[in-house]
């Protein structure tokens, strides 16, 4: 049960938080919980859902929170509020969204983005790589605008080519690292029952594998997800992409990671409305030595390339679950009880 705060009905808070939770997150950890203030929703990081191997500095955790924050801000505008966002990112970090009243009706653009929230998904299959119309590319670029964040778009085979070697090397290093593979397997849900029990993690069907008992799923992964096979598969995925998007944070700190998440989320929702599918090819961003190669290649200086996304046309796949609202809304403002 939600405490009643001021004149906003608790069902409205629940609706807004539900939309926030539809945001993507690394390994679908959903590393967040929410508390309520007076006309305010606080979005907190859930440190128990960190990914210490693949995301040792928590940048992906904060990008995920940025995605949820963006959904919350869009949903608040659609509910006729003027959301005021206050990030507090040092000790006891929290992203607060104050629901100030607004006289402005929701814009058609926001309503369309909100509509896309339940449709958006990470779609990890092969794509039809037909060209994306120029006006659609322009809409994606417009959607990405965010202080301290750059999005670069690569939409020809020549422009996409350098990423093949980086994705190969990132994959090779990650899948040769036992700790990385162990952590990944912990978050794969190999059966329908596991999906229902945990309501988080990545259903094996969402990565193109059938549901099988866990012992078998782990063996299949060990046999088939070798550094070589993964590198080969992702090279093909690049050839099958209409475009690649590289999201770059001007500085390596929490505020820039959150802002990058906001930018990415708007692009992902816009792509969904344009009937485009997207999936992550983050391995070269996650392996620091490969990330440095990209930094140098593009002359980025201190700026960090943190998300690599492929775009193309495909049918939807199995959806990834979300935890219930009761599991993510906490009483009080001091953290999970
Ligand atoms: C910061 C971040 C990093 C991610 N990294 C990867 C990745 O490396 N590989 C991948 O397949 N998906 C990646 N994803 C996608 C998540 O696995 C996906 O969002 C999650 O499983 C929920 O599924 P959904 O996006 O379909 O709702 C990432 C998402 C975020 C926000």
Ligand 1: centre distance to CA 320 (Å): 10
Determine which residue's CA is closest to atom 11 belonging to ligand 1. 280
Helix intervals (H) in 118-253: 134-143, 157-160, 162-175, 178-186, 192-198, 214-224, 227-239
CB 154 within 8 A of CB 131: no
181 and 282 part of one domain = yes
138 and 237 part of one domain = yes
For 248, the 3-state DSSP assignment is strand
147 and 87 part of one domain = no
114 and 174 part of one domain = no
In a domain, 144, yes or no: yes
- For residue 53, give Cα distances in angstroms to 1, 47, 155, 208, 257: 35, 14, 32, 24, 18
Determine which residue's CA is closest to atom 14 belonging to ligand 1. 26
116 and 152 part of one domain = no
- The total number of structural domains in the chain stands at 2
What are the phi and psi torsion angles at 253 (to 5°)?
Answer: -145, 170
**How far, in Å, CA of 58 to CA of 259, rounded?**
14
Ligand 1 nearest-atom number relative to CA 202: 21
183 and 40 part of one domain = no
296 and 153 part of one domain = yes
Ligand 1 nearest-atom number relative to CA 123: 26
Of 251, 240, 255, 265, which is closest to residue 305 (Cα–Cα)? 251
In a domain, 271, yes or no: yes
In a domain, 307, yes or no: yes
In a domain, 4, yes or no: no
- Residues in CB range of 251: below 8 A, 6 or more apart: 148, 302, 303, 304
In a domain, 153, yes or no: yes
- Helix 162-175 vs helix 227-239: angle between axes, to the nearest 10 degrees? 150
173 Cβ closer than 6 Å to some ligand 1 atom = no
68 and 198 part of one domain = no
28 Cβ closer than 6 Å to some ligand 1 atom = yes
- Identify the pLDDT of residue 245: 98
Of 333, 316, 258, which is closest to residue 31 (Cα–Cα)? 258
54 and 141 part of one domain = no
Ligand 1: centre distance to CA 80 (Å): 30
- Identify the pLDDT of residue 1: 44
112 and 151 part of one domain = no
155 and 100 part of one domain = no
138 and 113 part of one domain = no
CB 35 within 8 A of CB 42: yes
- Identify the pLDDT of residue 6: 63
256 Cβ closer than 6 Å to some ligand 1 atom = no
Ligand 1 nearest-atom number relative to CA 25: 31
In a domain, 3, yes or no: no
In a domain, 175, yes or no: yes
Q: The domain spanning residue 245 has which CATH number?
A: 3.40.109.10
What does each of the 337 residues of the chain score in pLDDT, given as a tens digit? 444 456 788 999 999 999 999 999 999 999 999 999 999 999 999 999 999 999 999 999 999 999 999 999 999 999 999 999 999 999 999 999 999 999 999 999 999 999 999 999 999 999 999 999 999 999 999 999 999 999 999 999 999 999 999 999 999 999 999 999 999 999 999 999 999 999 999 999 999 999 999 999 999 988 888 888 888 999 999 999 999 999 999 999 999 999 999 999 999 999 999 999 999 999 999 999 999 999 999 999 999 999 999 999 999 999 999 999 999 999 865 443 3
CA angle 239, 242, 243 (to 5 degrees): 95
- Residues facing 88 on adjacent strands: 94
- Residues in CB range of 105: below 8 A, 6 or more apart: 80
Q: Which domain holds residue 138?
A: 134-312
In a domain, 2, yes or no: no
DSSP sequence for 56-118:
TT-HHHHHHHHHHHHHHHHHHHHTTEEEEEEEE-SSS-EEEEEEEE-SSPPPHHHHHHHHHHT
């Amino acid at each position: 049960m939600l405490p009643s705060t001021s004149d906003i009905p608790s069902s409205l808070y629940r609706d807004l938080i539900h939309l926030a939770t539809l945001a993507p997150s690394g390994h679908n950890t959903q590393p967040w919980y929410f508390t309520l203030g007076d006309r305010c929703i606080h979005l907190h990081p859930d440190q128990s859902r960190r990914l210490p191997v693949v995301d040792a500095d928590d940048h992906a955790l904060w990008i995920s929170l940025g995605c949820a924050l963006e959904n919350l801000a869009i949903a608040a505008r659609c509910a006729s509020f003027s959301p005021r966002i206050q990030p507090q990112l040092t000790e006891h970090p929290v992203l607060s969204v104050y629901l100030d009243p607004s006289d402005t009706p929701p814009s058609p653009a926001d309503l369309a983005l909100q509509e896309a929230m339940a449709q958006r998904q990470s779609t990890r299959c092969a794509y039809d790589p037909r060209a994306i119309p120029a006006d659609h590319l322009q809409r994606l670029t417009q959607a990405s605008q965010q202080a301290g964040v750059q999005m670069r778009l690569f939409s020809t085979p020549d422009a996409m080519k350098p990423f093949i070697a980086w994705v190969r090397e990132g994959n090779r290093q990650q899948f040769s690292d036992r700790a990385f593979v162990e952590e990944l397997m912990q978050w794969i849900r190999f059966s329908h029952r596991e999906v229902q029990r945990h309501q988080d993690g990545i259903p094996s069907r969402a990565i193109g594998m059938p549901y099988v008992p866990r012992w078998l799923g782990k063996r299949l992964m060990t046999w088939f997800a070798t550094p070589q096979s993964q590198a080969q598969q992702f090279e093909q995925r690049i050839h099958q992409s209409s475009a690649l998007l590289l999201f770059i944070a001007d500085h390596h700190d929490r505020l820039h990671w959150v802002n990058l998440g906001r930018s990415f989320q708007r692009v992902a929702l816009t792509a969904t409305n344009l009937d485009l599918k997207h999936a992550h090819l983050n391995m070269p961003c996650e392996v620091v030595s490969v990330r440095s190669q990209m930094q140098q290649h593009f002359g980025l200086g201190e700026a960090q390339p943190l998300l690599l996304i492929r775009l193309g046309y495909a049918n939807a796949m199995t959806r990834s679950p979300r935890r219930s609202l009761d599991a993510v809304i906490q009483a009080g403002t001091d953290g999970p009880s």
